Amino acid sequence: MEYEVHGNEPVSPTGQCLNSSVLSMSILGVLEFEIPINESKILSFLQDVFLNISPRFSSIMVDINGEKQWKRVEVKLRDHVHVPIFPSGMSPKSYDDHFHDYISNIILEQYPKDKPLWEVHIIKYPTSSAAGNLIFKLHHALGDGYSFMSALLSCLQRADNPLPLTLPSRQGSQRGGDSGSIFRWVSETSASVFDTLKDFSWNSLFQDDRTPIRSGNYGVEFLPMTVSSITFSLDEIKLIKTKLNATVNDVISGALFFATRLYMQEKSQKSSTASCTALVLVNTRITHGDYKPIKEIIKPDSEMPWGNRMAFMPVTMPKLTEFSNPLDFVFKAQKLIKRKRSSFAVYINSKMSEIVKKIRGYEGASRYMHSRLKNSSFMISNMIGPTEQMALADHPVRGVYFMVLGIPQDLIITVVSYMGKLRIAFGTQKGLIDPEKFKACMENAFKMILEATDNIPTQTVADPGIFQGRCNI
């Protein structure tokens, strides 16, 4: 892949907000390999493939006359690749602890200002889940999850043959009902206006309660974080989806809300009625279609361009005292997502960020974004991965997960599908949230929801008024 750059490239407004003195966000991606790592093959992949994905991987961010720009520099690969040394001869279980401690340490490390904003960590030691691990730490100013996933799927091959990976489908949403009815149109428009005002004012002006998952302290993004994960079967999730006439995202969101409330109640009975808001990261690209090959999204006129085209959608988490049946959390999540999709708060907040930037500069816009994140309890980010097994430089990938870093929240949840499995990762602040107890609550919530569907016949329609499409989280 060849590209040509004449002069410096301007940093997008969102990219400037994501790399300021107030806010610095990154994405941490982990690839778990089935075989021991061949370091020379990984280095060749980084040099010959990774660096050619985008000019931003060979650029630093500089300030010229108050505007940030990408400036091309020479990349010395070894400055960006780290190969830690752990004690030898230990069991995979013991290496789990070293691996998790290592991730916790690199999360807090800052990028050198004179080098491109990315780094790779090669972990050669076997853990319980992999023969070796490859960690990518990419600054969010370089691009968003859609950009990175498109690049990953375009650059990796299938593990079983040399054919390219099949890009996962991201089917558009569909709405049921008589959309031609004037009464329905008036009702939905009125509801949309009300929801927009409510969503915009709530997340901008008010803060969530302090709870076992939200300390409310300033600067939590600079405190140590533990990253853990849990895996579920997509077939079981799809079974629940079919029986409840819901979507995969409805089931996942309902289970996450239920699990979080269970954890909060175990830690403090008073928190069962606390006000909690989840910020769901959404893709704001005009066309919500399939992933596109990397050669298409880097084109200047691309409909699905490289960069940061994202926004945060606030969703009020249901209270545990409101329901007696675990399935009610799925139904409630379904209705909440439908209502949020009719709200224009996401786009108004995006425009507000642009207005604030024009008045107060990107530092002011970054403070505005920081306050919205800080006022809520946690964030959810969701990506669709390939159904086929992928391989990087002839290393078959057994599992994959990611985490968003630099968020001023004590709890961050990410979700990614891969090879018929759903991997949910939790970023939890050390000393405030017990990651093992939170994982246990997640397992318990999913088990209770699955068991509650056992006696429901397949194809039962739960609620004819519930949104039938999928939420593009």
Domain extent, residue 371, equals: 182-290+308-387+407-452
Residues 83 and 203 in one domain: no
What are the pLDDT digits (tens) for 169-228? 654 434 333 434 443 333 343 344 445 445 555 555 689 999 999 999 999 999 999 999
- Residue 415 falls within a domain, yes or no? yes
- Which residues, at least 6 apart from 22, have a Cβ–Cβ distance to it below 8 Å? 363, 366, 367, 370
Mean pLDDT of 46-51: 94
Q: Which of 180-189, 320-329, 355-364, 403-412 has the lowest mean pLDDT?
A: 180-189
Which range (92-106, 147-161, 213-227, 403-417) has the least confidence? 147-161
pLDDT of 276 above 80: yes
446 vs 2: which has the higher pLDDT: 446
Query: In whole angstroms, how far apart are CA 277 and each of 70, 184, 256, 311?
Result: 35, 29, 13, 15
Judgement on whether residues 154 and 193 belong to the same structural domain of the protein: no
pLDDT digits (tens, 9 = 90+) for 65-113: 877 899 999 999 999 999 999 999 999 999 999 999 999 999 999 999 8
Question: Is 473 among the domain residues?
Answer: no
The answer as to whether 253 is a domain residue is yes
Q: Is residue 256 part of a domain?
A: yes
Higher pLDDT, 133 or 288: 133
Are residue 154 and residue 198 in the same domain, yes or no?
A: no
The stretch 114-134 carries a mean pLDDT of 97
- For residue 401 the two structure tokens come to 């997960």
pLDDT of the residue at 174: 40
90 and 51 share a domain?
A: yes
The answer to whether position 164 is within a domain reads no
Q: Is residue 2 part of a domain?
A: no
Taking residues 117-146, report their average pLDDT.
Answer: 96
Which of the residue ranges 151-155, 386-390, 464-468 has the most confident prediction, judged by mean pLDDT?
Answer: 386-390
pLDDT at 181: 44
CATH number at residue 433: 3.30.559.30
- Same domain, residue pair 55 and 201: no
How much is the average pLDDT of 368-383? Answer: 91
Q: Which pLDDT does position 440 carry in this prediction?
A: 96
Same domain, 32 and 105: yes
pLDDT reported for residue 293: 76
Residues 121 and 243 both lie in one domain: no
Cα distance between residue 369 and residue 413, in whole Å: 19
pLDDT band with cut points at 50, 70 and 90 for residue 242: very high
Phi, psi (rounded to 5 degrees) for 260: -65, -40
Q: What is the pLDDT of residue 328?
A: 93
| 451 has pLDDT over 80 | yes
Q: Which residue has the higher pLDDT, 42 or 351?
A: 42
Task: Please give the average per-residue pLDDT across 31-38, as a whole number.
Answer: 98
90 belongs to a structural domain: yes
| 357 and 218 both lie in a single domain | yes
Say whether pLDDT at 61 is over 80.
yes
User: What Cα–Cα distance (Å) separates residue 295 from each residue in 54, 116, 305?
Assistant: 10, 21, 10
- Do both 151 and 194 map to the same domain? no
Per the structure, how many domains does the chain have? 2
Considering the chain, what percentage of its residues have pLDDT values greater than 70? 84
- Residue 341 CA to residue 343 CA, distance in Å, equals 5
CA distances from 238 to 378, 421, 459 (A): 25, 11, 12
Given this model, what pLDDT does residue 180 score?
42
pLDDT at 462: 41
Q: Of 158, 193, 223, which residue constitutes the final position of a domain?
A: 158
201 and 133 housed in the same domain: no
* Residue 338: inside a domain: yes
268: DSSP letter:
-
Rounded Cα distance between 265 and 444, Å, is 14
pLDDT of residue 360: 81
Cβ–Cβ < 8 Å for 439, 230:
yes
- Which CATH number is 110's domain given? 3.30.559.10
337 and 188 in one domain? Answer: yes
Helices 248-267 and 435-452: crossing angle in degrees, nearest 10, is: 130
- Average the pLDDT over each of 16-30, 336-350, 415-429 and give the range with the smallest value: 336-350
Residues 149 and 203 placed together within one structural domain of the fold? no
- Given a cut of 90, is residue 415 above it in pLDDT? yes
Query: 6 pLDDT band (50/70/90 cuts)?
Result: very low
Contact 227, 407 (CB under 8 A): no
Tell me the pLDDT of the chain averaged across its residues. 84
Q: Residue 296: what residue type?
A: E
Backbone dihedral region for residue 10 (phi beyond 0: left; psi -120 to 50: alpha; all else: beta): beta
Give every CB contact of residue 354 below 8 A, 6+ residues apart in sequence. 13, 365
